[in-house]
């Protein structure tokens, strides 16, 4: 078996992996390897706008090679086994990669088999999902060609990346139907396994108003348990019903959010949280992002078992914490950097409207944009989502630069100072 050794090995060259590698390189760390099979890097948050016909899917993808920081070894392979007791991993092509420190950022795995009929349904002309690079354009085709009837939008009860995405595309679709005179002959249904529109009351108040504005029939505690594509029916289990009653909702258009779990090689490893083996998220201290039993292992991004929403913004906020705590551990010090649970969830509520939801572990709104009231829908936030955030992502976050707004709290600097500092360093 071919073997190699690196001081720091990062699994996954998506958002969390690249941002952390870039920060470590800027801090002068050497001998870093990233294991990443894909030669493409995707900016997934824009897939919502691909599904809404605002952006082409090609605008969300760039060559991975452009973002592997210089001086970092790229092992173009996928991990299939972790052996944390012996500090190595094995790749699909059979390379044994030994490490001193391991950072896990392989994202999630779609669980297409979790719902009977799901896989078959997305192959029909009536069902799509923005959770897939190739299917997001299909969502737009469905919305654009819709002539009225039942439009159903699904939200599962288990953790998914960007839990706001299922409702964003629903609002965009409803807005498109309204503008094109179709909303009057359309029944828009939100079938959600959760108990309400949003977990933070300040944002829920705004979003309930949006649901009302479009006349959406929001069905909560409805868990999608089966799709019958041949009859165009979605079967929901009523979660709070003592008799486990089910309801059948017919659809002419169905947007699904596939249930998601940790990748198999994580779930099968001792690093997965044994309390929740089905999901298999990596067990971490929610503040230091370090594994409680394996002191040389850190995780971030969607795969990390933190008790909050999985978003790219969270991964960007976790990256400097992981980098700092890993460098402390390398020097035999206790990890001092702390992730406060920051989540940013830009909820698009229509064409030209967005509500920027930002909060932390305490569940209280923590707005980072100064001088504007982000507790309401805004046009400038839509511009931020469509143009500003992708630019900040490709040019600042992935280059290991501090991002204005995002890093204002922990640095104590104004967004302008962060901006200036990022470009001179």
Active-site residue list: 162, 345
* CA–CA dist 424, 305 (Å, integer): 35
315 is a contact residue toward ligand FAD (CB under 6 A) = yes
Interface residue with ligand FAD, options 6, 8, 9, 12 (CB under 6 A)? 12
Task: Show the site string, 123-162: x = touches ligand FAD by CB under 6 A, - = not.
Answer: -------xx-----------------------------xx
Residue located via tokens 């972790």: 82
Residue number, 131 or 177, with CB nearest to ligand FAD: 131
* DSSP result, 282-350: BP--TTT-B-SS-TTEEE-GGGB--SS-B-HHHHHHHHHHHHHHHHHHHTTPPP-------EEEEEEEE
CB neighbourhood size of 70 (10 A): 6
* CA–CA dist 249, 251 (Å, integer): 7
Q: Which of residues 191-250 bind ligand FAD (CB under 6 A)?
A: none
36 is a contact residue toward ligand FAD (CB under 6 A) = yes
* CA–CA dist 336, 329 (Å, integer): 10
Cα 300–chain centre separation: 12
User: Which helix (H) or strand (E) is 124 found in, with range?
Assistant: none
49 is a contact residue toward ligand FAD (CB under 6 A) = no
Interface residue with ligand FAD, options 33, 47, 68, 408 (CB under 6 A)? 47
379 burial (CB, 10 Å; 0-12 / 13-18 / 19+) is exposed
Which region, judged by CB under 6 A, interacts with ligand FAD, from 115-123, 296-304, 364-372, 390-398?
296-304
Residue number, 13 or 84, with CB nearest to ligand FAD: 13
325 is a contact residue toward ligand FAD (CB under 6 A) = no
302 is a contact residue toward ligand FAD (CB under 6 A) = yes
CB of residue 242 to ligand FAD, shortest distance in Å:
35
- Euclidean distance between the first and the last CA atom of the chain, given in angstroms as a whole number: 41
424 burial (CB, 10 Å; 0-12 / 13-18 / 19+) is exposed
Contact predicate 25/72, CB 8 Å: yes
Interface residue with ligand FAD, options 16, 305, 320, 390 (CB under 6 A)? 16
Residue number, 182 or 313, with CB nearest to ligand FAD: 313
Residue number, 93 or 124, with CB nearest to ligand FAD: 93
Contact predicate 227/233, CB 8 Å: yes
107 is a contact residue toward ligand FAD (CB under 6 A) = yes
Can you read off the two tokens belonging to residue 382? 């839509």
Interface residue with ligand FAD, options 21, 23, 32, 79 (CB under 6 A)? 79
CB of residue 65 to ligand FAD, shortest distance in Å:
13
Task: Show the site string, 343-382: x = touches ligand FAD by CB under 6 A, - = not.
Answer: -x-x------------------------------------
Footprint on this chain of ligand FAD (rule: CB under 6 A): 11-17, 35-38, 44-45, 47-48, 78-79, 105-107, 130-131, 161-162, 165, 263, 265, 301-303, 310-313, 315, 344, 346
């Amino acid at each position: 078996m071919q073997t190699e050794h690196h001081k720091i090995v990062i699994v996954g060259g998506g958002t969390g992996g690249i941002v952390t590698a870039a920060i470590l390189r800027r801090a002068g760390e050497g001998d870093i390897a990233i294991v990443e099979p894909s030669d493409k890097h995707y900016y997934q948050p824009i897939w919502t706008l691909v599904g809404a016909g605002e952006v082409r899917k090609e605008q969300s993808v760039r060559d991975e090679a452009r973002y592997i920081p210089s001086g970092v070894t790229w092992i173009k392979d996928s991990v299939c086994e972790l052996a944390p007791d012996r500090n190595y991993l094995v790749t699909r092509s059979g390379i044994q990669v030994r490490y001193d420190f391991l950072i896990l950022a392989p994202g999630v795995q779609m669980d297409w088999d979790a719902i009977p009929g799901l896989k078959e349904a997305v192959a029909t002309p009536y069902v799509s999902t923005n959770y897939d690079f190739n299917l997001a354009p299909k969502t737009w085709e469905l919305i654009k060609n819709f002539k009225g009837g039942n439009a159903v939008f699904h939200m599962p009860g288990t953790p998914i990346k960007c839990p706001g995405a299922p409702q964003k595309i629903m609002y965009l679709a409803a807005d498109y139907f309204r503008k094109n005179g179709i909303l009057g002959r359309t029944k828009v249904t939100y079938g959600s396994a959760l108990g309400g529109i949003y977990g933070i009351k300040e944002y829920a108040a705004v979003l309930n108003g949006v649901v009302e504005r479009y006349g959406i029939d929001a069905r909560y505690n409805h868990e999608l348990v089966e799709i019958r594509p041949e009859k165009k029916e979605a079967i929901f289990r009523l979660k709070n019903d003592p008799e486990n009653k089910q309801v059948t909702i017919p659809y002419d258009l169905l947007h699904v959010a596939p249930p998601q779990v940790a990748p198999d090689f994580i779930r099968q490893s001792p690093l997965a949280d044994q309390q929740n083996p089905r999901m298999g998220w990596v067990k971490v201290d929610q503040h230091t992002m370090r594994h409680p039993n394996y002191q040389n292992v850190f995780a971030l991004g969607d795969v990390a078992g933190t008790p909050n929403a999985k978003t790219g913004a969270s991964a960007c906020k976790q990256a400097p914490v992981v980098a700092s705590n890993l460098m402390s551990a390398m020097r035999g010090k206790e990890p001092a950097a702390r992730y406060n649970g920051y989540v940013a969830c830009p909820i698009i509520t229509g064409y030209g409207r967005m509500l920027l939801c930002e909060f932390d572990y305490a569940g209280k709104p923590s707005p980072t944009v100064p001088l504007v009231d982000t507790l309401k829908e805004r046009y400038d936030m839509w511009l931020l989502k469509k143009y500003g955030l992708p630019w900040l992502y490709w040019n600042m976050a992935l280059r290991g630069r501090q991002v204005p707004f995002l890093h204002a709290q922990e640095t104590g600097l104004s967004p302008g100072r962060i901006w200036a500092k990022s470009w001179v360093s």
